Structure 1
Amino acid sequence: MKRRQRSFKGALIFCLGLSGCAAQAGNVSGINDAMVPHVAEYHFKMTHAEQGSSIVDASGVLGYRFEKMCDGWVTEMQQIMILQGSEGTPINSAYSMTQWEDFDGTEYRFRMRDYLDGTKVDEIVGKAVREDDVVRVSYEVPVEVEEELPGDTMFPTQHSRALLERAKAGDKFANDLVFDGSGDAPTNRVAVVISPRKEAANTAEDPDEIARTTFHRMNLAFYPLGAAENGPSTEMAVDFATNGVAQAMRFDYGSFEVLGTLDKINRLPLPDCGPQ
């Protein structure tokens, strides 16, 4: 069950990281045109469980904030999930992640905290910097350690930009190496199937009408670096709008499935950064 919780959280970061897709789009005006900084609320519920599944029920909520700063994008997530196993009491899992990524996709900072039944069980703090032919990752917590990743490794917003560009061009497939810094498998080979553009169908409370934009459904499979031969750790789909809003998300764990639905969303103001 613990591995499944981590897989869910890691996938969630990738999923919502899609909202930063245009952060690397180039000039400031292009970024402003493409992106909608916003704060949103989602709720999760189990939609299917096979007979014999170790998880018989799942529900939860997520608070999400995506904000443009003068030097990059800040993403904040706070999520609570209650997983009911086939035996024993429910597990109350709380999770938070803060990310910052610069507009050029050269530096990425992250902080993750993980709680079980109110007790902190994990914390990860670090940063990743893109150098000539490698991505150098430096962890500060829980231990100070460095690692090197291949030079073509993407950060979440950089990966998202590439996906949206491919969708716009009519491409149907993608396969990239992506690092997000979370959990036991922070680097994944992500295989993606991209749908044609679809009309929005969500019923979110949306006073600014930013969740009514057309979207592409992205079906993603995550293959942990160094263990791809074991198959994907998680499969999911996200309804990713052309303005950078995740309108819905679906997680398939084989024996059970979870649906995330957008409940509320509001636009955030752009920062006053002075003359550019």
Structure 2
Amino acid sequence: MRLRHLAVPFAVAWGMLSTALAPAAAAADLAAHRALYALTLQSARGDVIAADGTMAFEVLDACEGWAVRQRLSMTLTNRDGQDIEMVSDYTTFESKDGLRLRFRMRQTTDQAVTSDVAGDATLERVGGPGVAHYTVPEDTTRPLPEGTLFPMAHTAAILDAAKAGKKFLALPLFDGTGAEGAQDSSIAITSWVGPAESKWPELAKLPSGRVHVAFFDRSSASQQPDYEVGMRYWENGVADDLTMDFGDFVMTGKLKEFTLLHGGC
């Protein structure tokens, strides 16, 4: 089971306008916050018959950049009645000019390490090209194609597109969640509406919209996405009402705890 993209939906994640976009400016409007999501199984198409878990997500405004941490923990039950515990820890630091990214992704299955990726990446300009330098699992570099954005710039680009009335976007994303380099993402923005009812007063006053993102391996000829996620995005980059499709099974995520955080200079 390939869970590279568990980290993507938030820091990341997502979409793009063009290399002429200035997501660094838009990113200043993203909200530093702490959120906890409860995950439940919506449907299964393979060996998984039950699943639940949590996802903790934190975005800190660290003056010159965004420090992000996501910890996802899920317990899956297969048809043999076995429980499988999967934990994913993902951390990044992304400069607010959108040109530099440090990343670390560590995943365990029943406490055994199944994936460990770390390194840094730079872009020549916002929207690439650039290069990713990995230190784990081995010291290597990979080129990043024209159009590449890092996660927070990617998120800001999606929000700018939604506010501008755009419906479809597609550009490479590099988030450091796997050793394969950049991936392609296809984004559909299905709505953008004014303030709506929410249990969180800080969010209820903001516009929001529905977004669907599909992620593709650039090295594969397959037309099927590796992973898909749908969500409601508020104007400040906070997400809720998640639908996370991992291929064999689909999870839903509901925002259970939420706190805006202060930061910056």
TM bin, normalised by shorter chain, reads 0.7 to 0.9
Is residue 15 from structure 1 mapped to residue 48 from structure 2 by the alignment?
A: no
Aligned length: 256
1:30-88 per-residue CA deviation (whole Å, 9 max, x = no partner) reads 755x22211110010011234xx221111110111101011100110111011112235
1:76-132 per-residue CA deviation (whole Å, 9 max, x = no partner) reads 011101111223511101111111111111111101111121233332110111126
Q: Match for residue 257 of structure 2?
A: 264
Q: Match for residue 244 of structure 1?
A: 237
1:147 corresponds, among 125, 133, 142, to 142
Q: Match for residue 170 of structure 1?
A: 165
Q: Match for residue 203 of structure 2?
A: 211
Residues 25 and 179 of structure 1: CA distance in aligned 2, closer, same or farther (over 3 Å) = closer
Q: Match for residue 60 of structure 2?
A: 67
* Alignment RMSD: 2.4
Residues 18 and 137 of structure 1: CA distance in aligned 2, closer, same or farther (over 3 Å) = closer
Secondary structure, in 3 states, of the residue corresponding to 1:84? strand
Residue 186 of structure 1: CA displacement?
4.8
Letter in 2 for 1:224: D
Q: Which runs of 5+ in 2 are unaligned?
A: 16-20
1:87 corresponds, among 65, 80, 86, to 80
1:221-272 per-residue CA deviation (whole Å, 9 max, x = no partner) reads 111111143411112202111011112210234553210110010111123x
Q: Match for residue 38 of structure 1?
A: 33
Distance 2:23 2:164 in 1: 17
Distance 1:69 1:20 in 2: 21
Secondary structure, in 3 states, of the residue corresponding to 2:153? helix
Residues 85 and 252 of structure 1: CA distance in aligned 2, closer, same or farther (over 3 Å) = same
Secondary structure, in 3 states, of the residue corresponding to 2:222? helix
Residues 37 and 15 of structure 1: CA distance in aligned 2, closer, same or farther (over 3 Å) = same
Distance 2:172 2:33 in 1: 27
Secondary structure, in 3 states, of the residue corresponding to 1:197? coil
Residue 176 of structure 1: CA displacement?
1.0
Conserved 8 A contact 2:149-2:174: yes
Structure 1 ranges of 4+ moved more than 2 A = 18-26, 118-122, 131-134, 183-187, 198-203, 209-214, 252-256
Conserved 8 A contact 2:100-2:123: yes
Residues 88 and 184 of structure 1: CA distance in aligned 2, closer, same or farther (over 3 Å) = farther
Conserved 8 A contact 2:166-2:189: yes
Distance 1:142 1:39 in 2: 29
Secondary structure, in 3 states, of the residue corresponding to 1:16? helix
Pairs within 5 Å for 1:120-159: 120-131=113-124, 134-159=129-154
Q: TM-score, normalised by structure 2?
A: 0.88
1:113 corresponds, among 103, 106, 114, to 106
Residue 25 of structure 1: CA displacement?
3.9
Residues 184 and 138 of structure 1: CA distance in aligned 2, closer, same or farther (over 3 Å) = closer
Is residue 161 from structure 1 mapped to residue 161 from structure 2 by the alignment?
A: no
Distance 1:18 1:141 in 2: 21
Distance 1:97 1:120 in 2: 14
Letter in 2 for 1:75: V
Give the helix-richer structure, 1 or 2: 1
Distance 2:252 2:241 in 1: 8
Conserved 8 A contact 1:23-1:73: no
Q: Match for residue 181 of structure 1?
A: 176
Conserved 8 A contact 2:59-2:66: yes
Q: Match for residue 97 of structure 1?
A: 90
Identical residues among aligned pairs (%) = 27
Distance 2:14 2:154 in 1: 9
Conserved 8 A contact 1:130-1:136: yes
